[in-house]
Amino acid sequence: MSRPSVHLDPKGVAPARARHPWIFSGAIARVTGDPEPGAEVDVLDADGTFLGRGLFNPHSQIRVRLYTSEDEALDGPFFAARVRRAIALRSEVLGLDDPAGACRLVFSEGDELSGLTVDRYGRHLVVLLTGLGIAAHREAILDVLEEVVAPEGILLRTEKGVGTEEGLILKDGSLRGQPPAEPIVIQERSFRFAVDLRTGQKTGFYLDQRQNRARVAAYAAGRAVADVCAYTGGFSIATATGGAASVVAIDASAGALDLARRNAELNGVTDLVEAVRGDAFGWLGEQAEAGRSFDMIVLDPPRFARSRAGLRSALQGYQRLNGLALECLAPEGVLVTFSCSGRVSAEEFQEAVARAATEGRRPLRILERLGQAPDHPVSTACPQSAYLKGLVCVAG
């Protein structure tokens, strides 16, 4: 029996030929063979030329996740081999094999495994599945993870909204082995962090900011720091140990702030770090109204745009947030600002920050551009995989 086929509209051919892993519903001219959800499909151009093979999902705007441009089966061994390759990159090239540390072992599109993320925290793994098709190969993926990594336990985490977007019904919980004692403590350079693998944001910690924590710490000496959207205090701990005069960690989550306080204890900086519950916009507005200023402000908000439809609103949000921060930033103060929205380009983000500076009449100079840690590799075929953008600026 022939394999079902997805025939692309002419406008959808160029991205597929360039091996972009997402084929959206609007790029498809017709589908033949009535594929089931998660089925393998051949992707063809208007002339019937084979472009690649992917997994089909009629429930998602990403109608096909493209995994190969070769005529090969998308089965358990295929995905197991891709997982092995991803793990080898971390151990053999990046040297991220500290048993007490943490890293991203598999980064979805960055490792040509769209819809799969795997993070290692010490002897435990956390799996995040965001694609219906690849989720069907879960057992083969878990088998190779156990074989290569030999973890004490593997947890499954889900992402808000994915069930609706993908038609993927999953529940957080233990997949294999023993669940970790909470919280687990990881080592990152000289830092120690307590991580909640069960209920923390993402898979528990912002591993993508590993190198940026060290870079940002270099600017902190002697400064009064506000770490806004601090989560469990990654930048708070980094700046405090980097010699900050004081650090205020602001987050809307009481649970995250409890861990931030715990992390301050683990790193011996409880006298420097104050954890305050508050909304980023509201808290910054209150500080500006009260005339309070800081020598350094770190902004690391959650994702503002899940799709291009939300781009305008996201850029307005970044402009407003950075504008409020600039109102609270002392002359010659350092602003460290991030966007983790893959739909927002680095250029668009910088423009939003620049507009905030212009409207606030604050001359702003960029000292550094920051990105995600190398265990979150960027695929040249998928610009959206370069999702983390950061700027280190000094304001006049």
Helix axes 138-149, 76-88, angle to 10 degrees: 40
What gap in Å lies between CA 12 and CA 325, rounded to an integer? 41
| Rg of the chain (C-alpha set) | 22
Helix (H, G, I), strand (E, B) or coil at 54: strand
125: left (phi over 0), alpha (psi -120 to 50) or beta: beta
What gap in Å lies between CA 186 and CA 324, rounded to an integer? 34
What gap in Å lies between CA 318 and CA 309, rounded to an integer? 16
How does strand 273-277 pair with strand 246-251? parallel
Which amino acid is located at 245 in the chain?
A
What gap in Å lies between CA 160 and CA 141, rounded to an integer? 22
What gap in Å lies between CA 198 and CA 203, rounded to an integer? 8
Catalytic hit among 103, 229, 328, 340: 340
For residue 324 the two structure tokens come to 């409020």
What gap in Å lies between CA 323 and CA 304, rounded to an integer? 16
State the pTM of this model. Answer: 0.95
What gap in Å lies between CA 24 and CA 152, rounded to an integer? 38
| CATH number assigned to the domain covering 5-68 | 2.30.130.10
pLDDT tens for the chain, residues 1 to 396: 589 999 999 999 999 999 999 999 999 999 999 999 999 999 999 999 999 999 999 999 999 999 999 999 999 999 999 999 999 999 999 999 899 999 999 999 999 999 999 999 999 999 999 999 999 999 999 999 999 999 999 999 988 878 788 999 899 999 999 988 789 999 999 999 999 998 888 899 999 999 999 999 999 999 999 999 999 999 999 999 999 999 999 999 999 999 999 999 999 999 999 999 999 999 999 999 999 999 999 999 988 877 777 788 899 999 999 999 999 999 999 999 999 988 899 999 999 999 999 999 999 999 999 999 999 999 999 999 999 999 999 999
* Cβ atoms < 10 Å from Cβ of 276: 14
pLDDT at 1: 57
pLDDT at 305: 72
The residue ranges of every structural domain in the chain are: 5-68, 76-177, 194-395
> Is 376 in contact with 340 (CB distance < 8 Å)?
no
pLDDT at 250: 98
Check whether the bond before 302 is cis (ω within 30° of 0): no
- CATH superfamily to which 194-395 belongs: Vaccinia Virus protein VP39 (3.40.50.150)
- Per DSSP, the residues of 215-275 read HHHTT-TT-EEEEET-TTTHHHHHHHHTT-SEEEEEES-HHHHHHHHHHHHHTT-TTTEEE
Arch. (CATH architecture) of 76-177: 2-Layer Sandwich (3.30)
Name residue 366's beta-bridge partners. Answer: 393
pLDDT at 309: 75
For residue 72 the two structure tokens come to 């090969």
Q: With b meaning 16 or more CB within 10 Å and e meaning fewer, what string describes 151-189?
A: bebbbbbbbeebeebbebebeeeebbbeebeebbebebe
* Residue 340 is a catalytic residue: yes
Q: How far is CA 210 from the centre of its chain?
A: 12
* H or E, element range at 303: none
